[in-house]
């Protein structure tokens, strides 16, 4: 007999027991539902901003929506893409003398959305997150489309606006910066979650970066009373009743339980069940940009990283996705143009096709056991771009070619 039936049948003191039973069931259901805020869906990175040498940066929101709809139309069930990681903003710091001990909250800036950046040429009044949220067809994608802004930042950069000193920010200032970011992000009704691409990711200590992400997790879960803030951070809405999710981008090596970062990563991502790690199975070469890995060597490295995530996530409880190179990266590419292009030993004898790297990545995932992990949350595809240029080198293809798309449609 269910608790509800018992409640209806009984009376008096005994009924109170049935009521408590029913409340316990509802509470357990709420806890189970809370854990589902991290999506279980395949994703794709899209960059609407041009990146071609000698050309002004142009911004055309939703530039790849038609291409993604076409992919989903052809992809088999279980291999569709409905999680869209779209480059949408940046975090910047303008502390006096670039010294973290002199930072004020007004020196810490969140540029979001991109159309707020007047340095870009593009459609006024439009934003990439809204464009993909409205233009990707959920019926083709196999479910609700989740638009996720990618917010980047460069900690090691030594230029005006870089995040140099971010790790050294005092705890309260780092948390206040997270409040500022949360307030701006959660005011956008199109945002399901955020991918933070603040590089290099480093929480080997409980530093400013750690405190920033810790506060993001609190805010996105809606657990901090509004009375403690400058103003309300409303991350729970009718469209997102469980709050928003977030991810960080980092090598699987950081999840090694013997290393200094794993415990802090787990603290950030699992405490409120709203965070996950995206471990790239690309850019696995140790040489400079343009130094291509052989497909054989690449697959060995991809298998190691996929196995590590499957194993170490089981120990930490950290949810994860794995990224695959369906278009060019600086170490896995079909073509490279520029003076620094070379191929590693063994790579020159191979036909340099992008789908060869992609097939190796998918083979690595399948053989690793990662797909069977209860913490696995899908594959993310790099990527749909408008130019891949690094250190003056240009890499191709800029978007997944037809044979890579065909492979994704059957095996993603």
CA 69 to chain CA centroid, Å, is: 21
SS (HEC) of the chain: CCHHHHHHHCCHHHHHHHHHHHHHHHHHHHHHHHHHHCCCCEEEEEEEEECCCCCCCEECCCCCHHHHHHHHHHCCCCCCEEEEEEEEEEEEECCHHHCHHHCCHHHEEEECCHHHCCCCEECCCCCHHHHHHHHCCHHHHCCCCEEEEEEEEECCCCCCECCCCHHHCCHHHHHHHHHHHHHHHHCCCCECEEEEEEECCCCCCCCHHHHHHHHHHHHHHCCCCHHHCCCCCCCCCCCCCCCCEEEEECCHHHHCCCCCCHHHHHHHHHCCCCEEEEEECCCCCCCCCCEECCHHHHHHHHHHHHHHHHHHHHHHCCEEEEEEECCCCCCCCCEEECCCCEECCCCCCCCCCHHHHHHHHHHHHHHHCHHHCCCEEEEEEEEEEECEEECCEEEECCCCCHHHHHHHHHHC
Report the pLDDT value the prediction gives residue 30, as an integer from 0 to 100: 36
CA distance 148 to 195: 7
Report the pLDDT value the prediction gives residue 306, as an integer from 0 to 100: 97
Strand partners, 7: none
Report the pLDDT value the prediction gives residue 82, as an integer from 0 to 100: 97
Judge whether 378 and 83 are in contact, CB under 8 Å: yes
End-to-end Cα spacing for the chain: 43
Report the pLDDT value the prediction gives residue 191, as an integer from 0 to 100: 95
Cβ-based neighbours of 390, under 8 Å, separated by 6 or more = 289, 290, 330
Report the pLDDT value the prediction gives residue 250, as an integer from 0 to 100: 95
User: In terms of pTM, does the model score above 0.85?
Assistant: yes
Report the pLDDT value the prediction gives residue 347, as an integer from 0 to 100: 56
Other CB atoms within 10 A of residue 175 CB: 21
Report the pLDDT value the prediction gives residue 391, as an integer from 0 to 100: 87
Report the pLDDT value the prediction gives residue 21, as an integer from 0 to 100: 39
Report the pLDDT value the prediction gives residue 9, as an integer from 0 to 100: 37
Sequential pLDDT tens for the chain (412 residues): 333 333 333 344 434 434 433 333 333 333 333 456 999 999 999 999 988 777 788 889 999 999 999 999 999 999 999 999 999 999 999 999 888 889 999 999 999 888 767 667 665 557 899 999 999 999 999 999 999 999 999 999 888 899 999 999 999 999 999 999 999 999 999 999 999 999 999 999 999 999 999 999 999 998 776 554 456 678 999 999 999 999 999 999 999 999 999 999 999 999 999 999 999 999 998 888 988 889 999 999 999 999 999 999 999 999 999 999 999 999 999 999 888 888 766 555 565 799 999 999 999 999 999 999 999 999 999 999 999 999 889 999 999 999 999 999 999 9
């Amino acid at each position: 007999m269910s608790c509800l039936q018992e409640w209806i049948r009984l009376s008096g003191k005994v009924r109170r027991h049935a009521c408590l039973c029913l409340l316990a069931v509802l509470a357990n259901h709420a806890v189970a539902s809370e854990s589902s805020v991290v999506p279980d869906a395949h994703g794709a990175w899209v960059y609407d901003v041009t990146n071609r040498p000698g050309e002004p940066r142009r911004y055309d929101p939703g530039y790849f929506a038609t291409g993604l709809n076409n992919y989903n139309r052809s992809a088999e069930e279980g291999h569709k893409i409905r999680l869209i990681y779209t480059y949408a903003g940046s975090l910047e710091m303008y502390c006096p003398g670039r010294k973290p001990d002199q930072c004020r909250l007004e020196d810490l800036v969140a540029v979001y959305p991109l159309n707020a950046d007047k340095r870009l040429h593009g459609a006024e009044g439009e934003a990439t997150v809204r464009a993909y949220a409205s233009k990707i067809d959920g019926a083709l994608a196999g479910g609700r489309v989740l638009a996720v802004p990618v917010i980047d930042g460069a900690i090691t950069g030594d230029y005006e606006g870089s995040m140099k000193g971010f790790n050294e920010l005092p705890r309260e200032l780092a948390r206040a910066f997270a409040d500022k970011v949360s307030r701006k992000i959660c005011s956008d009704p199109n945002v399901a979650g955020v991918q933070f691409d603040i590089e290099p990711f480093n929480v080997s200590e409980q530093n400013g970066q750690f405190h920033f992400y810790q506060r993001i997790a609190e805010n996105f879960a809606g657990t901090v009373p509004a009375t403690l803030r400058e103003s309300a951070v409303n991350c729970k809405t009718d469209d997102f009743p469980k709050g928003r999710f977030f991810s960080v981008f980092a090598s699987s090596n950081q999840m090694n339980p013997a290393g200094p970062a794993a415990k802090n990563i787990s603290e950030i991502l699992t405490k409120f069940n709203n965070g996950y790690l995206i471990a790239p199975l690309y850019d696995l070469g140790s040489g400079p940009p343009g130094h291509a890995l052989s497909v054989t060597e690449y697959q060995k490295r991809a298998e190691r990283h996929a196995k590590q995530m499957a194993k170490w996530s089981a120990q930490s409880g950290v949810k994860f996705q794995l990224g695959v190179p369906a278009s060019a990266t600086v170490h896995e590419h079909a073509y490279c143009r520029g003076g620094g292009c070379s191929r590693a030993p063994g790579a020159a004898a191979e036909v340099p096709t992008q789908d060869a790297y992609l097939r190796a990545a998918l083979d690595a995932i399948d053989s690793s056991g990662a797909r069977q992990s209860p913490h696995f949350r899908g594959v993310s595809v790099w990527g749909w771009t408008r130019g891949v240029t690094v250190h003056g080198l240009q890499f191709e293809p800029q978007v997944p070619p037809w044979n890579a798309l065909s492979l994704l449609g059957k095996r993603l």
